Structure formats: C-alpha cells, structure tokens
Structure 1
Amino acid sequence: MTMDAFNALACPLDGEPLSQADSCWRCPAGHSFDVARQGYLHLLPVQKKRSLDPGDSKDMVAARRRFLNAGFYQPIAEAVGQAVTTSTADTKPLACLDAGCGEGYYLRQLAASNMDMALALVGVDISKWATLAAAKQDKRPRWLVGSNANLPVLSGTLDCVLCLFGFPVYSEFARVLKPGGILIQADAGPDHLRELREIIYPSLKPEKPSAIDAPDGFSSLGTETLRYSLTLKSQDAIADLLAMTPHFYRAPAEGRARAETLETLTVTVEVTLRRFVRDSAATTTTPR
C-alpha cells in the first residue's frame, strides 16, 4: 500500500487552488496559510467560525481517541472499509476525504484494511483539537481544520467522501466529488446506545425516521444496517463513551450521575450505512 497526502486544496476565502511552498500554502491572490508544527493545516477563516473554538472540545476528542483505539467500533470501521472497496475497486489511486474526521480513526483503519490500494487521504474537521490529535497519530494523510459547509478542496477532485456520524452538506460533497464518485454515510440507528440513553434520560423520544431518498446530485447504491452488542467492563470506558457523544451535554446532571456509578454496561450498537454515487449530470459551484 502507498498512502499519501491529498494535495488538491482550495483557498477557503476565494476557492482558488492552493500551492505549497515549504510550510506555507498560498493561493494566486496571496492568501497564505501556515502548516502547524504538528503537521495539520488550518483552513477555517475566523470570519467563517460560529464560535471561538468550534467543534469537539479537547476532552471530547481525548475520550473518543481512547474509546476508538480500544477497538470498540472496529466492526463499523471494517464495514466502512468494505463499502469503500466494493464501490471503488477500479480507482487507482483512490482520493478519499473524511468529512468530520475527528481524530482520524476511520481514515487510519481504511488504510490498514486496504493494504493493496494506493490512497491519497484527507481528513477535515471543524475542531482544531480533533485535527491536532489526528496529525499526532499519523502524519501521512492531509489533516485540515475546516468546515463541511465550505470544504477547502478543489471541485471534482475526489473519488470518495466519508461522512461518519457527522453533518452532511450534500451540495459540497457533490461539488468535490468526481462524476461517479462515491459518498458513504454512517448514521446512528434507532437502537444505537439505547441502554445508555435509557439510563441518562428520564424518557426516550420517538426516533425520527431516517431519510431514504438520495440527496440532490446523487443516486442511491443501497443501504445496510450493522448491529451488534458491546459490553464495556470499566467505569473509564463507559465514561469515554458518554463523553464522546452529544448525550454528554444533552443529558440532565442526574442522568450523567447515574452513568458515573456504572462499573459495567452492555449496549446495542446500531449503525445505518448508506452509499450514494454522484450523478454525472450534477452541477456544482465553487464556494466563496
């Protein structure tokens, strides 16, 4: 396997191509972006932030890193890798972006499970803490601080986009994908972590039906459901699971307190995996 950094980057201010010179990336208009000492590139302009420190916090990222590196979601990573391989078997090299990459677990697992593929990888996350953690663990992919709403990638340059438990922006995914490119989306199913949710909430709200139609610019390639039981055998593992989910902030204090007393917990993992292909006739515009 060869794994390289993806280099077809776009200026987040004007959408023009970025070129690298040593530790700096510049566009023709002179906008300049320095590579951080840890190896990631910050391409989220301050005027496009909704807060001073958007995305997952340092503590959430650390909890996710511990939990994922323990292998608890390995079956999900394997299913994603299989979906990529099935959909892009003839693509060489494979240019793949993880939109909302977190600390990079799924891109690293994709590379590890496809040793015979040539890969050009890029991970984008709005959290600088997540991107920093990703860069510390693997220097080979391109790690970017950026937003799914304005991906700092040139139009029509990607073979595959992953959106795993993230916030999909389908117009942007269609823009950056080549015609015939693949979007793989993973979302929590109705019973995902139900046992934990029953502990931390007074009652559970009815689940909203998941979207089944293909988004504009895409056609569906099918949907599958991954479901398995997971037993966590320590308070630390349970705390990490809770801390890496939005439930940590949504749950009432008394619910979080109940979770803190648990020494073991068996939960259902249920994930819906959907695959889409970018239509050849789709039209896209370059964001400004």
Structure 2
Amino acid sequence: MTTVPFDALACPLDGCTLVPGEKTWRCENGHSFDVARQGYVHLLPVQKKRTLDPGDSKEMVAARQRFLNAGFYIKIADLVSDQVLQWLPSEGTGSILDAGSGEGYYLRHLASLAGARDVSMIGVDISKWAVLAAAKRDKQTRWVVGSNANLPILPESLDLVLCLFGFPVYSEFARVLKLGGKVIQVDAGADHLRELREIIYPELKPPADTESTDPGGFRTLESTVVRFPLSLPDRESIADLLAMTPHLYRASSEGLEKAAALESLEVTVEVVLKCLEKC
C-alpha cells in the first residue's frame, strides 16, 4: 500500500480551496495558514475554539501512545483496517479521513498493512498535542489541527471517514464524503471496561438505549459487537488506559485512588463497529 498526504483542504474561514506552499497554505481570499516545523497544519481558528487549548492534553496523548503502542487494542485496529480495505475503491487512489485521529495509531496501522491499493490519508484532531505527536511519526499522512464540527475538507472529496471512539458530526461527514462513501465508526459498548468502571464509580448507570434510526443522509450497512478480555499487567497500563478515557474526569477522587492502588486488572473490551453509507 502506498500512502500519500491528502491535499483537498478547505479554508476553515470561508470554505475556499487551500493551495499548498512550502511553508503556508492560502485561499483565494488571502487567508493563510502556516505549516508547522513538524509538518502539520493548524486549521482551527481561534474564534472557533471553546477553550485556549482544546482536546487532549500533552499528558493524555502520551498515555494513549504508551497504551496503544503496547498493542492492547491491536484487535480493534485490525478490524478497522479490514473494514477500510473492504470498502476502498478498487481503482484509483482511495481517500481516507480519520476524524478525531489522536496521535495517529489507527492510520499508521492501516498504512503498515500490505496491499496494492494506493490511499491518500488525513488525520484531523482538535488537540494540537495529538497532531504534533502524529506528525512526528508519520510524514506520509496529512495531519491537521481542526474540528469535526467544521472539517477543513472540500465537499465530496473523501471515500471513507473513520470515527473511532470519537464525536461524529454526521452533517459534516455527509458533506465531505462522495456519494456512496462510507463512515466506519467504533463506539464503546455497554460492557466496555466494566471492571474498571465498577472500581472507580459507586454504582454503574444502566446502559443507554442504543436503538436509533440511521443518521440523516446515511444508511447502516453493518453493525457488529466486538468483545474480548484484556489483561492489564501493571499500574502503568491501568493508569494509561484510565487517562485516555472520559472516566479520568468523571470519577471521584476516591475512585481514582482505588484505581491507582491496583497492581493489575482484567477488563472486558466491548465495542460496536458500524459501517454507514452516504445515500
């Protein structure tokens, strides 16, 4: 598989085509965006930020890197890659966006697989620390600081959108996908990390009702529950897993102290893998 950076970028201020230069991307209206020394482009205007430094912190990104690089979620990465290879167009260069790409683990895993098809890839994340980490490791993907709510992508320019443990914005996904393009989505299932949640919370909330209609502009092609046990052998791996989930901020100090005291932990991984088609 040959991977190249995705170049059909749009100005986040007016939606016009961005033209790349050696150090700057510009649109016809004169808006310009510098390329960072590490190679990524910052396309999240300050007026569209809710906080000064949105998204995952530098420490959270480092925790996710350690956890994912240790191979704990390799089964999920394999399943996602299988889905991508199934739905990539058979001819030409397929185009893929990871919406909420984090430090780039899933796109790197995809790119590492053998295959004859060419792909053009872009990772977008609201955390500059995540994008910085991704750009340092992978120069064959376009890395962008941006928001799923306002993707800096030209309309109908993508074959596939990945949204893995992220925040889907289906109206934006529909805008940037070609007709017949696919969304491959991974969400936490009802029993995901149940054993950890039982330790850090006084009681667990009942699972949310997952019955819902297809999002506007899409139809569901597949929906599969994937479940497997996971052994966390030490305090560090437990702490890293906790740091890459919302539970780090939702749990009480008492719950976090209980988790910090654990020497090892067996947890259940349960995710829902969906494939949606733009119609």
TM > 0.5 between the two? Answer: yes
After superposition, give the CA deviation of every residue in 1:139-163 in whole Å (9 maximum; x if it has no partner).
1100000000000000000000000
Name 1:134's counterpart in structure 2: 134
TM-score, normalising length: structure 1: 0.95
Alignment check: 8 A CA contact 1:15 1:154 kept: yes
Alignment check: 8 A CA contact 1:8 1:17 kept: yes
Matches within 5 A, 1:76-155: 76-155=76-155
Alignment check: 8 A CA contact 1:78 1:113 kept: no
Query: How far is 1:111 from its partner?
Result: 1.2
Query: How far is 1:114 from its partner?
Result: 4.6
2:111 partner letter? A
Name 1:18's counterpart in structure 2: 18
Query: How far is 1:113 from its partner?
Result: 2.4
Name 2:48's counterpart in structure 1: 48
After superposition, give the CA deviation of every residue in 1:59-104 in whole Å (9 maximum; x if it has no partner).
1110001000100000001111111112225253110000000000
Name 1:38's counterpart in structure 2: 38
Whole-angstrom CA distance in 1 between matches of 2:118 and 2:82: 16
Please state whether the residue corresponding to 1:131 is helix, strand or coil.
helix
Alignment check: 8 A CA contact 2:90 2:117 kept: no
Unaligned runs of 5+ in 2: none
Distance 1:95 1:67, change over 3 A: same
Answer yes or no: is 1:250 the counterpart of 2:250.
yes
Matches within 5 A, 1:1-288: 1-279=1-279
2:132 partner letter? L
Identity over aligned residues, as a percent? 62
Unaligned runs of 5+ in 1: 280-288
Whole-angstrom CA distance in 2 between matches of 1:206 and 1:150: 33
Alignment check: 8 A CA contact 2:89 2:159 kept: no
After superposition, give the CA deviation of every residue in 1:83-141 in whole Å (9 maximum; x if it has no partner).
11122252531100000000000111111125322110000000000100110111110
Query: How far is 1:212 from its partner?
Result: 4.0
After superposition, give the CA deviation of every residue in 1:157-196 in whole Å (9 maximum; x if it has no partner).
0000000000000000000000010111100000000000
Q: Which runs of 4+ in 1 moved over 3 A?
A: none
Distance 1:196 1:91, change over 3 A: farther
Alignment check: 8 A CA contact 2:200 2:256 kept: yes
Alignment check: 8 A CA contact 2:224 2:274 kept: yes
Alignment check: 8 A CA contact 1:91 1:159 kept: no
Alignment check: 8 A CA contact 2:164 2:186 kept: yes
Distance 1:34 1:211, change over 3 A: farther
Query: How far is 1:227 from its partner?
Result: 0.6
Query: How far is 1:222 from its partner?
Result: 1.2
Whole-angstrom CA distance in 2 between matches of 1:139 and 1:59: 23
After superposition, give the CA deviation of every residue in 1:182-229 in whole Å (9 maximum; x if it has no partner).
111100000000000000011100110224421111111010111100
Please state whether the residue corresponding to 2:155 is helix, strand or coil.
coil
Please state whether the residue corresponding to 1:275 is helix, strand or coil.
strand
Alignment check: 8 A CA contact 1:146 1:152 kept: yes
Query: How far is 1:21 from its partner?
Result: 1.4
Whole-angstrom CA distance in 2 between matches of 1:89 and 1:19: 26
Distance 1:198 1:231, change over 3 A: same
